[in-house]
Structures are given as structure tokens and as C-alpha cells.
Amino acid sequence: MKDTKYIFVTGGVTSSLGKGIISASLAKLLQGRGFSVTIQKLDPYINVDPGTLNPYEHGECYVTEDGAETDLDLGHYERFSNVPTSQANNVTTGRIYQHVINEERAGTYLGSTVQVIPHITDEIKRRIKLLGQSGNFDFVITEIGGTVGDIESFPFIEAIRQMRWEMGKHCAVVHLTLVPFLSAAGELKTKPTQHSVKTMLEQGVQPDIIVCRTEKHLNDSIKGKIAQFCNVEVSSVIESIDAASIYDVPILMLEEKLDIEVLRKTQTPIPEKIDIRKWEDFLHRLHNPQSEVTIALVGKYVELKDAYKSINEAFIHAGVSNDCKVKLKYVHSEHIDSGNVHEQMAGVGGVLVAPGFGGRGIEGKITAIEWARTNKVPFFGVCLGMQCAVIEFGRNVLGLRDAHSTEMNPRTPHPVIDIMSNQKTVKNLGGTMRLGAYPCKLDPESKVYGVYKETMISERHRHRYEFNNDYRKAYNKAGMRTVGIYPNENLVEIVELENHPWFVGVQFHPEYKSTVARPHPLFVGFVEAVKNYLSEKD
Ligand code: GLN
């Protein structure tokens, strides 16, 4: 059993400062010193999970192995730490209240008035300690979503206050703030940081370490000022300067000794050596690409890059594996039609059609796929992207007029994509899709087998519709091969085209499993195919 220490990461001044990246970077450094670490996100909103949130609101919904629909920061945690997260790693206010109210109805608190303190704060503390009690981790890093001072985050800050009181040096609080540069004054300003620390103090929490997000280096006098006004040691004022890539942040934090400060504050003996050579190799290759390719990312949420976060990052990892920089050209599927597709796809060496829900922009996706198929341009379809590839092939190769998914057209004469039988009775939309990891058996004669180099794989899912097996024979005969199957229920998970350099559609989400340490083989294979396509074209 490990003597688990708890690190809290809070944010002040403004949102979007990158608490997730700081948490993930700290985890990476602690791992480099030989500690086992997990990272948890507590989100102050009332949704039970972000699965029902529009990507415009909250960016991508990330899915864990055990099928939890979570905040996209969990993706960063996995990509940096290479350790899978689970349901326990993302807890919202909604989930906390749901549990407490269920307990109240069950009579657990019989006789007492159920209140924010202690019932809600006890449940928050229980969720935090649950990860520590697994006995697997030296450190549990808990990131609190939102900004201190928000009404929603009060119970979480109060839970931290109580845990520190109860556990003393087994806890440390890292507070991330912004130190803005005012160009008119030509100066960095510490006042917002002072105010956000004051807000925390009003709630009874003194940060141990202050990480300052800044565009310009903090000199000693600025660090001294922050230390003096915020009751921390100068060595506990850590600069977090804007970086070219999020993957540079662990190294910047190493230089600023964030990990050492955390170990010192929690009275943990400091191992002398740190091993992050593999991370440094990755960075070297990331910053020294030998070539560049452009890939079209076709989707309907292209205005907000966070909507496709994991796909973005998977391309960064796959680019590094191929020593090339992958530039993504975001193409709005609603703006594609047969008249302009050639122009829209100008200069791209591959097309990825993104996951999604609902009919908006669907015809543009299908047109982009037809273009990639007929021009023999590498294509990769993910979830809805795979379903669109099946629809396109049905309509244009098999001659199935108006073939469609019953999600978009329930009355189609050719429902080549149909609702899964166990989804037909589902009424509630929250957390009821086919979610999480399922095994998939690959055809050893397929291209994807050549990529994975194993017959049984496991990938994560998030969907309700599936390839309609009534059409399976016709598709295989005409050259769209069903090469990956979920054996227990005979569900088609992967299709690929014969006579095409690379045309792969997957019902699952490979992007969720791509990490710096293990770039996803399908993304690596796709980028390689794009490179080959472009070099043969020249
Ligand atoms: N809307 C499709 C389905 O539910 C695809 C989902 C997705 O792309 N994640 O099956």
C-alpha cells in the first residue's frame, strides 16, 4: 500500500490558462523520478458528465477504457502520462449531487439535514481519496475546473481546505495564475495574481506553489513580489512561459523545478535522478521534422479546434513517428459540394472525415470521401467518418439509391448503417451509447493487420449506429472489405478498400489511445500513406 500524497491544482484570474497541461506535465516529471501518478479532474458544472454537452460549449468529449464520457483534459493526462484513466478520474458537481441525493432517498442520512457542508464536501473528499485508496499511486493530482471565486467551485475549494487540515503535509496546493504584460506600461503585472490568492485565502486555502502563466520571463524582482504578497517562498513561484508546443511544458517545468517544489512541500524524499530521455527524443523529433504534409480534416465543428482535440494530438504523435510535420487543413463539411470539392481539397495529401452526430454537413462529408476514393487519395474515416464511407460506397459503387444511415434518414430504402439492436429501446441520452473499450478481431489478409501486426486489438467506442450486416456480402464482393469484427456480437468495426493505396474506416475512436509514448498505429500508418502518396505524385 502506498503512502499517497494529494496535489491540488487550482486556477485564478482567468480560465484557459492550461491547468490540464500543468497537471499532466507535473505527472510526467514525477513519473520520471520513479513515482506512480494519476490525475483527476473535478468539474464544477451540473451535467453528470460532459457527454451531453455540445462540442462548441466544451470541446471534445473524451472516452476512457471503462466507457466514461469525460472532459478533454483527461486526454492530455493519458497522452502525457501513458497511464489509462477511468470513471473515477472525472467527477462533476452533477455526479456528486446525484450520489448525495440518491443516498438521501435511500435513507442513509436519516434524521439529519443534508447540507453542502458536510455532505457534499464529504462526497467530494471521498471521490478524491478513492484513487489514493486503490493503493496504486504515490501521487494523486486533482485539477479543479473553473476559476477560484466562481460560485460553483466553492464546495471544491472547501473540500481542499478540509483535506489539508486533516492530512497536513500529505497535501499541497498548486495555484495557476496569469501575470499579464501591459504593453502601454511595458510591465508585467502581479496584481491579478495577488487578488486571486486573496480569494483563495478568504476560502481558507493558502497555495503552496504559484505557477505564473506569462508571455515574458519573470525576473527575480517580480518573483520576489509575488512571493511576498502571496505568502510563498521565492522558489515556489514558478514561471510558465508560453511554449511553442504543449509538449515543451514538462521540460520548462523541470527547468523551473516544479517537481522538486512539490516533493519538498509534501516532505517526500527527492530522488536525485530523473529519466525523461524518451520525452526529450520526442521533442527533438517534433521540432526537427524532415518533411511536411497537409491533411484535410473534414468536420462540422471546425471553428473550434478543441472539438477534435484527440485527433489533432494523434496527428502530432504520428507526425513525429514519421519525422514529418502534419499540417491540418480544417474543411467545414457544410461548405463542400461536388462543384468545389477539388478546390477545397487542393494541396492535401490525405482526407480524414471526423466523428459526429446528426445530419448537418453529412453530404459534404460523403462528397469528400467520393473525391478521395476516386482520386486514390489516402482516406481515414473515424466513427461517423467510417459510416459516411459506407454510405458513399453503397450509393456510388453498389448503386443503392438513397442509401443512408437511419440516424439521418429513418425511411431510407437502403439502411446500410442502422441503429444497434440494443440501442432501440434506449430513451435517455446521457451515458447510453456503446461506450469504452471492446475487442476487435482483424482479418490477417488486411492492410490494417499490417499496421497493427496483431489479430486481436482493443479500441474505444462512442456511437449508437453500426454497419448493417444485411449488406456485408455485397460490400465485400464489390471491394469494400469488412476486415475488423467485434466477435461477441458480430459487429463490423473496420472497413477498407481493395485497389486503393489507403482507404480505412473505423467504427471506433483510435485517437483516444494515441500517446506520446505510443503513437497510434493507424494514425502512423495513415501519415506514412500520405507521405508516400505525395512523394509518388511529385
Ligand atoms: N452518430 C454516429 C453514431 O451514433 C457516429 C458517432 C460518432 O462519430 N462518434 O453511431
Note the pLDDT tens digit of each residue in 135-182: 899 999 999 999 999 999 999 999 999 999 999 999 999 999 999 999
Cα 274 to ligand 1 centre (Å): 42
Check pocket membership of 357 for ligand 1, CB cut-off 6 A.
yes
pLDDT greater than 80 at residue 423: no
Check pocket membership of 195 for ligand 1, CB cut-off 6 A.
no
**Residue 383 annotated among the catalytic residues of the structure:** yes
Nearest CA residue ID for atom 5, ligand 1: 384
Nearest CA residue ID for atom 1, ligand 1: 357
Task: List the Cα angle 31/514/46 in 5-degree steps.
Answer: 80
pLDDT of 432 reads: 81
- Is residue 206 classed exposed, middle or buried when 0-12, 13-18 and 19+ CB atoms within 10 A define those classes? middle
- For residue 118, whether the previous peptide bond is cis, meaning omega lies within 30 degrees of 0, is yes
**Residue 192: what are its φ and ψ, rounded to 5°?**
-55, -35
Beta-strand relationship, 503-506 and 491-497:
antiparallel
Check pocket membership of 465 for ligand 1, CB cut-off 6 A.
yes
pLDDT greater than 80 at residue 502: yes
d(CA 522, CA 535) in angstroms, rounded, equals 20
Check pocket membership of 383 for ligand 1, CB cut-off 6 A.
yes
Read off the C-alpha cell for 530: 500520405
User: What is the residue-averaged pLDDT of the chain?
Assistant: 94
Cα 464 to ligand 1 centre (Å): 6
**Per annotation, catalytic residue among 76, 509, 520, 528:** 509
**Residue 511 annotated among the catalytic residues of the structure:** yes
Task: List the Cα angle 328/329/334 in 5-degree steps.
Answer: 130
Check pocket membership of 460 for ligand 1, CB cut-off 6 A.
no
Check pocket membership of 33 for ligand 1, CB cut-off 6 A.
no
pLDDT of 433 reads: 87
pLDDT of 55 reads: 75
Which residues in 242-323 belong to E strands, given as ranges?
291-299
pLDDT tier at 424, thresholds 50, 70, 90: confident
Cα 48 to ligand 1 centre (Å): 20
Average the pLDDT over 340-369 and give the result. 95
Task: List the Cα angle 274/279/281 in 5-degree steps.
Answer: 115
pLDDT tier at 427, thresholds 50, 70, 90: confident
Q: Which amino acid is at 449?
A: Y
Q: Which of 479, 486, 480, 483 is nearest to 494 (CA)?
A: 483
Whether 414 and 401 have beta carbons less than 8 Å apart is answered as yes
**Per annotation, catalytic residue among 261, 392, 459, 511:** 511
* 3-class DSSP state of 389: helix
* 3-class DSSP state of 2: coil
- pTM, two decimals, is 0.94
Establish how many alpha carbons lie within 13 A of residue 299's alpha carbon, considering only the half-sphere containing its beta carbon.
Answer: 29
Helix or strand (DSSP H, E) at 182: strand 181-182
In tens, the pLDDT along 218-245 reads 999 999 999 999 999 999 999 999 999 9
**Per annotation, catalytic residue among 212, 230, 383, 388:** 383
Atom of ligand 1 nearest to the CA of 385: 8
Q: Which of 355, 391, 351, 361 is nearest to 471 (CA)?
A: 391
pLDDT tier at 110, thresholds 50, 70, 90: confident
Cα 357 to ligand 1 centre (Å): 5
Check pocket membership of 384 for ligand 1, CB cut-off 6 A.
yes
Check pocket membership of 55 for ligand 1, CB cut-off 6 A.
no
Average the pLDDT over 267-296 and give the result. 96
pLDDT of 308 reads: 94
Cα 511 to ligand 1 centre (Å): 15
Average the pLDDT over 335-363 and give the result. 94
